Structure 1
Amino acid sequence: MFVAIRNTPRDYAWGSTTDIAGFLGVEPSGGPEAELWLGAHAGSPAQIVDPAQTGGASDLAAWIQFDPHTALGAESAAEGRLPFLLKLLAAGGPLSLQAHPTPDQARAGFAREEAEGVPIDAYDRNYKDAFHKPELVVAVSETFDALSGFRPLGEVRDILELLRRADASDAAPAPGALDLLEQHLDIGLADTVEWLLRDGRGEDTGQAVWVVERVVRLARSREAEESAYADSFATVVDLSVAYPGDPGIVISLLLNRVRLRRGEALFLAAGNIHAYLHGLGIELMAASDNVLRGGLTPKHIDVSELLEVLDFTPMAPPRLEPERASPGVLTFRPDVPDFVLHRVEPGEGGSSSIELDGPAIVLVEGDAVRLEGALGGVDVPRGGAVYITPDEGRLSVSGRGVAWIATNG
């Protein structure tokens, strides 16, 4: 069965005012449009265009609850939930620094807060459900900028040396701020992050505030602007405008600064600290809302829980190369069971196909496409979205558009 779905973009302040509307081929709302959710997550379940197809159920979550065998298939019906959430994400400005838990951490954290009686919508609630939240993002805009994972320590030392040169050339040198930062780096990344977050936030702020102010000043220097890390220093300046004085500004220099080109992808495993900075992307994740924040936000930051979740192992940017599964098909397959993402572009007069092992959601970019399964078919226009039940089996795609297809891993 092919079931047309839709949703209203979420109006988070960091959203772009034009990118989602441009992708969908509709007029912008006039306000920020940050994320279009296409899934069954309770936070914003996709709406069913024709409830007569689904026994009167008006959204995807209600249909799955009402008729899991049809919606999910016999193999997944026992679990009773769609394991993935597809999003169209448009960052007009930086999102918060954040990380997500492992499955064990999510189960334990959710059980603990439930036992403590913390309301599910409380400001200081960390775990909204018992599931992990690995994420995949693929750039749709020409570039997509992000921070992701801790840099190799050699790069952090190079950045600190550039800051020292800039400080020595400054009209009012203040090397003590960089000395303080280096003392914590000598202990380790975990100590540095904890010190910045605990000492640089709230009413009783300490020396970390001075370090943040000093780093922002030095990031505007010629030495910084002309260095190999010019993008990272420019990000510091941009973040200081969006979140003045926030300790996440300095934390950003400890992280990989990543620029994806159109079609390139990042996979963010549990514990990866990251923040999207700017651009339009297709985001696919496990269906969870568990977020531990680490700066660049007015929202709750639980420093102790964040430190438990974070993976401080230095790494290269976690790019994910797609498999060229068949003509016109690129498959992004991270090492998780929850989801896989196919990008299908058959081209004019052509046809491409993939095998569906479970339910799927399709979002169409550009021109219309034709979808054909074992039991039926449907034409999907630009910006249209469709939920596909598992009994359709092998899916054939034709037309001049691009079909982004999310399904079980």
Structure 2
Amino acid sequence: MFVRIGNTPRDYDWGSRTAIAELLGSVPSGAPEAELWLGAHPGSPSAILDSAETDGARDLATWIDREPRLALGETAAAGEKPHLPYLMKVLAADRPLSLQAHPSSGQAGEGFARENARGLPLDSPERNYKDAFHKPELIYALSETFDALSGYRDPAVSARVLDALAEGSDPEGLRLVGLLTGRLRHAPAGEALRDSTAWLLGADPDVRSLVEVVTGAAARRGTAGDPEVASAADTVAMLAQAFPGDPGIVLALLLNRIALRRGEVLYLPAGNIHAYLHGLGIELMAASDNVLRGGLTSKRVDVPELLAVLDFSPFTAKPLEPESPAPGLETYRPDVPDFALDVVQLDGAVSSVTVRLPGAATAVCTEGSLEFRGASHAVRLSRGEAMFVTPDERELVISGSGTVFIAVPNR
């Protein structure tokens, strides 16, 4: 069964006013358009465009609750609340988002139960855990570049970059930078990164002064010279404009900065501290609201809980490599069962492809016009249109010319 769906973009203040509309061929609202949600998440479930097809259900969440076996197939296990395990979004960041991390399944389950036992309402500002699910995610770059911060890098590299950035500062500035670089150098990498993060987010008055020193040093340094130092200066300048005085400006220099090219994917597992900086993309995540913030925000930062969730193992951020099961089809599979992303791009050279459905699918067309044939139904999807596909269609034979993104469970 093919069910056409749609939604209204979320108007978070960091969103672009034009990027989503230009991608999908819609009329801009005039307000920021940050995220278009395609799924059944209760925060903004997709509208069903023809409710006659779903016995009057007007949104995807309501229909799944009423008809879990039809909508989700085997994923709607007896005795469990029906749950579409993923959420797909079109995301357009015009300025940086907050630094954040997401818990593992075990951490989410324990945290949710703990806060329930405390009697915290789900909408309490003291809540870290809104549900019992983890929230890994990936982003597929649609803009020419998509800039992000992802995970901790080697602390020795960060210390060297900070020292170089601060060259020419006055003695007090050098002392303040030394307070951080000393921490980065004094212990094994994971311990040094944990200690440095705790200090930067711990409200020490020296940190406030350090942010001013680093911001001023970046303005003087500019973006010439050593590429790593130039990148650090650019990161500081961008973040200082959006979040002046925030300790996350300095914390960002301990992280990998990555610039995805169009068509590349970044995967963000549990415990990865990250922030999207700028760009347009398709985001796919486990359907959860569990976010631990780490700066670059006016919202609550629970430092002890954040430190308990973070993975302090340094690494080099790289794009996730796709599988290529057939011409015109690439599949991105993270290390979780909740979701995988199929990207179909057809042109004159490749006119059709078959996509297996391991469960309920959600699809959005961003270019051209494509025909989809399943086991019992067929539909045409054009630029800007989206649909939900029930598992009983088994597979999709896709033909035509265009691009479509398809979210499925990872089985």
Consecutive unaligned residues in structure 2, runs of 5 or more = none
Q: Tell me what 2:396 maps to.
A: 395
| Structure 2 residue corresponding to 1:93, chosen from 92, 95, 99 | 95
Q: Tell me what 1:287 maps to.
A: 287
Q: CA deviation at 1:157?
A: 2.5
Q: CA deviation at 1:75?
A: 4.4
For residue 235 of structure 1, give the secondary structure of its aligned residue in structure 2. Answer: helix
| Structure 2 residue corresponding to 1:194, chosen from 193, 198, 206 | 198
Q: CA deviation at 1:56?
A: 1.0
Q: Tell me what 1:146 maps to.
A: 148
Give the Cα–Cα distance (whole angstroms) in 1 for the partners of residues 226 and 168 of structure 2. 11
Q: CA deviation at 1:318?
A: 4.2
Contact map agreement 1:329 1:342 (CA 8 A) in 2:
yes
Contact map agreement 2:219 2:233 (CA 8 A) in 1:
yes
Matches within 5 A, 1:277-356: 277-348=277-348, 350-356=351-357
Q: Tell me what 1:81 maps to.
A: 83
Give the Cα–Cα distance (whole angstroms) in 2 for the partners of residues 273 and 58 of structure 1. 37
Give the Cα–Cα distance (whole angstroms) in 1 for the partners of residues 344 and 352 of structure 2. 9
Matches within 5 A, 1:132-171: 132-167=134-169
**Residues 102-157 of structure 1: CA deviation (Å, up to 9, x unaligned):** 00000000001111111111122110100000001110111100000001223213
TM-score relative to the length of structure 2: 0.95
Matches within 5 A, 1:227-246: 227-229=226-228, 230-246=230-246
Give the Cα–Cα distance (whole angstroms) in 1 for the partners of residues 223 and 378 of structure 2. 56
Q: CA deviation at 1:173?
A: 6.6
Contact map agreement 2:149 2:256 (CA 8 A) in 1:
yes
For residue 345 of structure 1, give the secondary structure of its aligned residue in structure 2. Answer: strand
Matches within 5 A, 1:361-372: 361-372=362-373
Give the Cα–Cα distance (whole angstroms) in 2 for the partners of residues 329 and 353 of structure 1. 9
Q: Tell me what 1:68 maps to.
A: 68
TM-score relative to the length of structure 1: 0.95
Give the Cα–Cα distance (whole angstroms) in 1 for the partners of residues 100 and 313 of structure 2. 16
**Residues 166-219 of structure 1: CA deviation (Å, up to 9, x unaligned):** 42xx6x87311112112332351111111111125xxxxx11001110011111
Give the Cα–Cα distance (whole angstroms) in 2 for the partners of residues 223 and 325 of structure 1. 45
Q: Tell me what 2:128 maps to.
A: 126
RMSD: 1.4
Q: CA deviation at 1:226?
A: 2.0
Q: CA deviation at 1:77?
A: 4.3
Contact map agreement 2:165 2:233 (CA 8 A) in 1:
no
Consecutive unaligned residues in structure 1, runs of 5 or more = 201-205
Q: CA deviation at 1:224?
A: 6.0
Q: Tell me what 1:23 maps to.
A: 23
Give the Cα–Cα distance (whole angstroms) in 2 for the partners of residues 313 and 303 of structure 1. 18
Contact map agreement 1:134 1:285 (CA 8 A) in 2:
yes
Q: Tell me what 1:203 maps to.
A: none
For residue 73 of structure 1, give the secondary structure of its aligned residue in structure 2. Answer: helix
Over 3 Å counting, the alpha-carbon distance change for 1:25 and 1:35 in structure 2 is: same
Deviating more after overlay: 380-389 vs 230-239: 230-239
Over 3 Å counting, the alpha-carbon distance change for 1:130 and 1:318 in structure 2 is: farther
Q: Which runs of 4+ in 1 moved over 6 A?
A: none
Give the Cα–Cα distance (whole angstroms) in 2 for the partners of residues 36 and 251 of structure 1. 29
Over 3 Å counting, the alpha-carbon distance change for 1:239 and 1:223 in structure 2 is: closer
Give the Cα–Cα distance (whole angstroms) in 2 for the partners of residues 310 and 173 of structure 1. 31
Give the Cα–Cα distance (whole angstroms) in 1 for the partners of residues 280 and 56 of structure 2. 34
How many residues matched?
401
Give me the identity figure in percent. 54
2:407 aligned partner, one-letter code: A
Give the Cα–Cα distance (whole angstroms) in 2 for the partners of residues 315 and 74 of structure 1. 37
Q: CA deviation at 1:222?
A: 3.3
